[in-house]
Structure 1
Amino acid sequence: MHPQTTPAPAPATGPPGSTGATPDEALEALPARYYTDPDIAAAETRRVFEKSWQLVCHESDLPGPGARLSATVAGREVLVVRTEDGGLAAHLNVCRHRGTRLVTAPEPSGKAIRCPYHGWTYKLDGTLVGAPEARQIPCLDKPRLGLHRVGAESFLGFVFVNLDPAAVPLAESCAGLAEAIGHYAGPDLVPVGKYRIHDRSTAEEQHANWKVIVDNYLEGYHVPVAHPALMRLLDYQGYTVDIQESYALFESPLRDKPSSNRTERLYQRLASPMPGLTEADRRVWRYAVIYPNTLIDFYPDHVLAWTALPTAQDRAAIPGAFYTRHGESVRTRLARRLNIHIGWVTNDEDAELVERVQTGLSTPGYEPGPLSRREAAVGWFARRIRWDLDGEVR
């Protein structure tokens, strides 16, 4: 559900998560087994997904105190709640009594979290405050039986959770990103259409390992061959990329030459910034990848945020949602509709590509060749994965 980016050469040096390569050094992709070995997938759950910030929703999905929803993170259900003071809290979505799932569908409000099985009741911050017939429960220690808390943070108006209590705050690990593209985002974004990040029921599933999908997003080397619409719209030679330890940010200017395609040509004429953006943003598309699997597209006319979640070794769900701001012009609204249409065309092309890659990676004896400098961000991502799985992969 996303157009792709084309990175230019990456910075030469950096911390363990960077490409770590000089301009003349070969960048290395991940070995094929990283995409096909079930043991590596299990290691990723422990070493990547349980220790990273995972995108679960936007603040607009939690409109007021008591609003709550559930999301899956590293194989565990997490309950995300808007607290009474307007903040955010997240807990494992399981009652401390007998393990009942507390929330199965989003709820817009509520003063407490009540288990539907035996009625154990928790405050929004997870504190156990009541249990029916409490005198019949020996050793009921309410302070010790609160919900299991997990980290929750709003960044750019999007809500992330992290199962690792020692995790560095996302705003700290992604220092510089908010300054670069924060004017596109924030809590005031409003969703467009039926899709929501937390709703797996409407999410497309692609037939590839989640890392194949992220790799594909991280490089534009394939654009001239695979995406004719993007080649007509974007200045392929004008792509730039800023690769930091925990994120990569891409920019591409739009071409001045009118496209030969009617829909694309109309989009070029109508492209205009939504509220909060400037005229300088009208002729550029931006994309961000927050390690490991959060992907956000920043267009003049909308924002698209999505994530790649493994459902099997060779399958991944890609839930996401489109956003705009109140007060957009009719022109911006029309441009957004055209842009989203172009994006779906590109998505279908990519879905076929990543499936082809996944099939090829399963060929016995195959290993990937050297990367192009236009695939510098793929090298960055591979290095981060290797770093996180160090000691787990033999």
Structure 2
Amino acid sequence: MHSRAPEKPPTDQPVPTDQPVPTDQPVPAAPPVPDVPGPALSARYYTDPDTAAEEVRQVFAKAWQLVCHESDLPNPGARLAATVAGREVLVVRTEDGALAAHLNVCRHRGTRLVTAPEPEGKAIRCPYHGWTYRLDGSLVGAPEARQIPCLDKPALGLLPARVESFLGFVFVNLDLDAVPLAQQCAGLAEAVGHYAGAGLVPVGRARIHDLAGAEVQEANWKVTVDNYLEGYHVPVAHPGLMRLLDYQAYTCEIEESYALFASPLRDKPSSNWAERLYQRIAAPMPGLTEADRRIWRYAVIYPNTLIDFYPDHVLAWTAIPTAVDRVAVPGAFYTRRGTGLRTRLARRLNIHIGWITNDEDVELVARVQKGLSTPGFEPGPLSRRESAVAWFAGRIRADLDAGADPDAADAAGAER
């Protein structure tokens, strides 16, 4: 379990509310959670620079990556740059209101097209030589085009990426043949879609695509994801959560492309004043039920999207490796239109509690990273409460093995 804190107490900004469109495409059922969890990843997966480089190619470049929320692109012509698999991607709202994504590089001499927030516009213009592109990425023209003998405009549009809105959040995939995220995560949309949607309102100044302003943790990105994927450490490491959550009723649902966790709130009043006040005033956002008020949910969309679904707000963030032992965790808070005073107060208390949990987790993941770097260490068996860690480890192994040559794969298998 993990939560991040805001920069300042947020304020509400009403916007129209809608719900994500459910997909009717079939999704293969995932195997049931095994009674005996699979093995954890070997220590080298967290410390080896070559493995980290291979992850960029075999994991991140082929997976859906969270880049922003639809509210960050409110009108046609809006655009922003985000990091996906070590590349900068330009995400835009086109003239017809759809989303488009392109590599953030001019096809002429490789200039970065967008480097900072820019006003909305009907075109994308390179700041170096003025090559101009439509919002859909097609090349409109270049200054002094007659002086460019081989200017093939249809062939020189911006390099495309896949883009999709899911639960109101914008995801990008560099694999143009990727299975749609809505198809991969249809069950997740059914379970938590009423929390989210394009109508969520951002609160505070933090934004998912703001990598420069993100917290950086002293750990491999998978250590941070592992930590989020299990509640086994809660009784030891998070006394505040133990006072609030019914640990014995904590549940975990694992599917092929996501894991969903849920924990009811305790009825017993906490001994901590902030937690006790939260228990007393907790009120759901519009569109949620009384049952939702009594439960916290967490979701991981493979490989590195993490979303907290609380009755009073939604927190979405992602884990982006910046080095083999460093991870940036940009994220943002959201609420719904029409949220009342009581819910807003509950949200601020919840975020205060989350700040404490975050500080505890930051120390924990740094400790784990140092331990994994100890020569000769290999992890022990996993608890059944860590089944999602085993699921994640299996997905990582499969992705890396898919891109390995047979001899390398055999050697890696011998180390597991």
What range describes the TM-score normalised by the shorter chain of this pair?
over 0.9
Note the C-alpha offset of 1:280.
1.3
Note the C-alpha offset of 1:20.
7.0
- Structure 1 length as normaliser, TM-score? 0.95
Superposed counterparts of 1:91-102, under 5 Å: 91-102=102-113
Give every structure 1 segment of 4 or more consecutive aligned residues whose post-TM-superposition deviation is greater than 2 Å: 1-4, 15-22, 391-394
Note the C-alpha offset of 1:18.
6.0
Give the direction of change, closer, same or farther, for the CA distance of 1:44–1:314 in structure 2 (3 Å limit). Answer: same
Note the C-alpha offset of 1:27.
2.6
Contact preservation (8 Å) 1:113, 1:121: yes
Could you say what secondary structure the match of 2:186 adopts? Answer: coil
Give the aligned partner of residue 179 of structure 1.
190
Corresponding residue to 1:121 among 132, 137, 151 = 132
RMSD: 1.6
Give the aligned partner of residue 2 of structure 1.
2
Corresponding residue to 1:262 among 273, 281, 284 = 273
How many residue pairs get aligned? The number is: 383
1:200-241 deviation per Cα after TM superposition (whole angstroms, max 9, x unaligned): 122000000000000000001000000000000000001111
Give the aligned partner of residue 330 of structure 2.
319
Contact preservation (8 Å) 2:235, 2:242: yes
Could you say what secondary structure the match of 2:212 adopts? Answer: helix
Amino acid at match of 2:245: L
| Cα distance between partner residues in 2 of 1:343 and 1:358 | 22
Contact preservation (8 Å) 1:18, 1:383: no
Superposed counterparts of 1:61-100, under 5 Å: 61-100=72-111
Determine whether 1:251 maps to 2:262.
yes
Give the aligned partner of residue 39 of structure 2.
28
| Cα distance between partner residues in 2 of 1:366 and 1:127 | 52
Give the direction of change, closer, same or farther, for the CA distance of 1:386–1:17 in structure 2 (3 Å limit). Answer: farther
Give the aligned partner of residue 210 of structure 2.
199
Contact preservation (8 Å) 1:38, 1:313: yes
Note the C-alpha offset of 1:26.
4.6
| Cα distance between partner residues in 2 of 1:383 and 1:232 | 33
Could you say what secondary structure the match of 1:202 adopts? Answer: coil
Amino acid at match of 1:232: R
Could you say what secondary structure the match of 1:389 adopts? Answer: helix
Give the direction of change, closer, same or farther, for the CA distance of 1:232–1:162 in structure 2 (3 Å limit). Answer: same
- Structure 2 length as normaliser, TM-score? 0.90
1:234-269 deviation per Cα after TM superposition (whole angstroms, max 9, x unaligned): 000011111000000111000000000000000111
| Cα distance between partner residues in 1 of 2:181 and 2:68 | 15
| Cα distance between partner residues in 2 of 1:207 and 1:22 | 32
| Cα distance between partner residues in 2 of 1:107 and 1:336 | 31
Please, which runs of 5 or more residues in structure 1 have no aligned partner? 5-14
Contact preservation (8 Å) 1:120, 1:130: yes
Corresponding residue to 1:282 among 277, 293, 296 = 293
Note the C-alpha offset of 1:275.
1.2
Give the aligned partner of residue 166 of structure 1.
177
Give the aligned partner of residue 351 of structure 1.
362
Contact preservation (8 Å) 1:17, 1:387: no
Give the aligned partner of residue 10 of structure 1.
none
Give the aligned partner of residue 387 of structure 2.
376
Corresponding residue to 1:334 among 337, 345, 350 = 345
Could you say what secondary structure the match of 1:252 adopts? Answer: strand
Amino acid at match of 2:287: G
| Cα distance between partner residues in 1 of 2:33 and 2:176 | 32
| Cα distance between partner residues in 1 of 2:260 and 2:131 | 45
1:136-167 deviation per Cα after TM superposition (whole angstroms, max 9, x unaligned): 11121100000001000000000000001111
Note the C-alpha offset of 1:328.
0.4
Could you say what secondary structure the match of 1:109 adopts? Answer: coil
Give the aligned partner of residue 11 of structure 2.
none
